[in-house]
Amino acid sequence: MVSACVVEPIQLPKFEEAERKDVEVSDPVDYPALCEIPWTTAECYQRLDVFEDVAEDNKELAMLNADIARDSDKAYDHILSAAKQQQEIAQIKQEILEAERRDHFFDNVKNWTFIILLGLGYAL
């Protein structure tokens, strides 16, 4: 038991690193219809401006969703790392328990042997 206490303290996992962020995932907007080439009216140029605005907004949404996906991957890695550390802690505790049971068994054998030898010595 003393040898188990001498080992370095186990670093517990930090679950804060894997917390979810409250970022709303947005869907991209459909592109508006453009005029057929050649453009001859001002309405066609206005449609092109709207198309460019939608395209830029969709690009921002795509970047935001990509960032969310990357953050999700990082969070998953942190959770997996924490689970592995937790498993190591459980294995160490299991080994300590088994060593303690072994020591207890040998103590019992030693004590019963001593009691039997005392009983035999007293009987003789």
Helix (H, G, I), strand (E, B) or coil at 34: coil
Query: What pLDDT does 21 receive?
Result: 66
| Model confidence pLDDT, tens digit, residues 4-19 | 544 566 666 666 666 6
Question: Is the pLDDT reported for residue 1 higher than 50?
Answer: no
Query: For residue range 100-113, what is the model confidence (pLDDT) as tens digits?
Result: 999 999 999 999 99
Quote the tokens at residue 48. Answer: 């092109």
| Residue-level pLDDT at 13 | 63
Question: What b/e sequence results for 91-107 when a residue is b if at least 16 CB atoms lie within 10 Å of its CB, and e otherwise?
Answer: eeeeeeeeeeeeeeeee
pLDDT tens-digit readout, 42-87: 888 888 888 898 888 888 888 888 888 888 888 888 888 888 888 8
Are 31 and 51 spatial neighbours (Cβ–Cβ below 8 Å)?
yes
pLDDT at residue 80 in the model = 84
What pLDDT is recorded for position 6? 47
pLDDT digits (tens, 9 = 90+) for 29-43: 787 777 777 767 888
